[in-house]
Structure formats: structure tokens, C-alpha cells
Chain A
Amino acid sequence: AAGVIQSPRHLIKEKRETATLKCYPIPRHDTVYWYQQGPGQDPQFLISFYEKMQSDKGSIPDRFSAQQFSDYHSELNMSSLELGDSALYFCASSFGQGALEQFFGPGTRLTVL
């Protein structure tokens, strides 16, 4: 069965650079969630989208923005990168807002030097 696809899987950036992470949900899933997992930390919810509209917002820094496109894929844009942004970024998808189960992608590991 098709799973959530994230690209790239690994990304290395310098401080103050920008990065764009992409997430392709499971086909027919209309809701996408972004999570950030710092080294040795639990995943923290950043933001979610349902039917291309932001549905919930967590601890996403103002330097980050995200959107969901008409084909339901989502992009997380990160600007003015800081060392502390180094983390594993997970995308998850579900069918319907408020769905009880989220399906996680493999994550994008971002390293900021």
C-alpha cells in the first residue's frame, strides 16, 4: 500500500539559509500534519492542513511557513535557519479532519551547520 512520501530524506543547510521540505500524503488523504523531533526529543506538532486550509497550529516558529496544494501535497518552508532547527521533520496524513489515525512518513532529517 502507498505510504506517506517525504522529500528530501536528508538535507544539510548552513545557518541563515532556507529549506523546503515536501510531503506527499497517502492517496485520497486530505489532511496533512507536520511534526518536529529534535535530537532525543519527542515529536512536537507544528501545523496541520485540511482541504488546503490551515486547520491547527502548534509550536511552529514565525520563520517557518507551510501550505497545502490542490493535489494535497504540502510544503514546509523554513527561513533564516538556526542550529536549533536541526531535527527530524515528520509529515503525517489522514482522511478527514479529526481522523483518529495519522499515518507518518519516514521523515526528513535536517542538519543546520
Chain B
Amino acid sequence: AQSVTQLDSHVSVSEGTPVLLRCNYSSSYSPSLFWYVQHPNKGLQLLLKYTSAATLVKGINGFEAEFKKSETSFHLTKPSAHMSDAAEYFCVVSEGAGYSTLTFGKGTMLLVSP
């Protein structure tokens, strides 16, 4: 069975400072991992995905994540937060080809202050 743990329910940063959203996963197989963002009253937008290629994955809006198998982690980072980054972020795992059900983490709300 697959599962995702997002270690922080809320993260607060100031505009222009780095962002770190933590995610640990559990999977019986070689997982695919994703980060989705959800702005208030909006749908889910894919930020980036890891699918067993390069372990450092670059996504949209300056976000990136590093897959670390030894630590079973897939933390999301951004060097400099922008006010528009304020949203809820979901770390998601899928057990890969042939079985594509997504399992979501509980989400991390990112708050960005001026």
C-alpha cells in the first residue's frame, strides 16, 4: 500500500524567503511522485512530477523537488516566495504504470506575508 505524509499542516514564510514543504512517502513499488497546488476555491494544478528519471525535478513557477530514495522523501522547495504562492500544496504518490490511483497527503497550507 502507498501513503504520503506531509510533515507540516501550515508553513509561514515572508515574501522573498525560501520555501520548504516536506513530504515523506511509503510505497511497495517504485513510486511516481507529484506535487499539486490548489488555490482557494480552485482546482488542482500539477507543479511537478517524479517518474524515475532525474532525481531533481524542476516544475512551474520556480518550484523544484528532490527525490531521495534513502530518506523516502520528496520535499518541495523554492528559493524565493512570492505572494501568489500562497495556497495549499499536496504531495501525491502513485505506484506507477498499470496502477495509477493517486494517494494524496493531507496538504500543507503555505502562507506568505509581505
Contact = CB atoms under 8 A, between A and B. Distances in A.
Nearest to A105: B43
A92 B99 CA distance: 15
Interface residues of B, number: 24
Most buried by A among B32, B44, B49: B44
Interface in B92-114: 94, 96-107
B101 A100 contact: no
A43 B43 contact: no
Contacts, number: 57
A94 B99 CA distance: 13
Interface in B49-105: 49, 51, 90, 94, 96-105
B101 A48 contact: yes
Nearest to B107: A42
Nearest to B51: A100
B98 A45 contact: no
A98 to B, nearest CB: 4
B101 A45 contact: yes
Interface string A74-92: 0000000000000000101
Contacts of A31: 100
26 contacts: A31-B100, A35-B102, A41-B106, A42-B105, A43-B90, A43-B102, A43-B104, A44-B104, A45-B101, A45-B103, A48-B100, A56-B101, A90-B43, A97-B100, A98-B97, A98-B98, A100-B49, A100-B51, A100-B96, A100-B97, A102-B100, A102-B102, A103-B46, A104-B43, A104-B45, A106-B42
Interface of B: 32, 34, 36, 42-46, 49, 51, 90, 94, 96-107
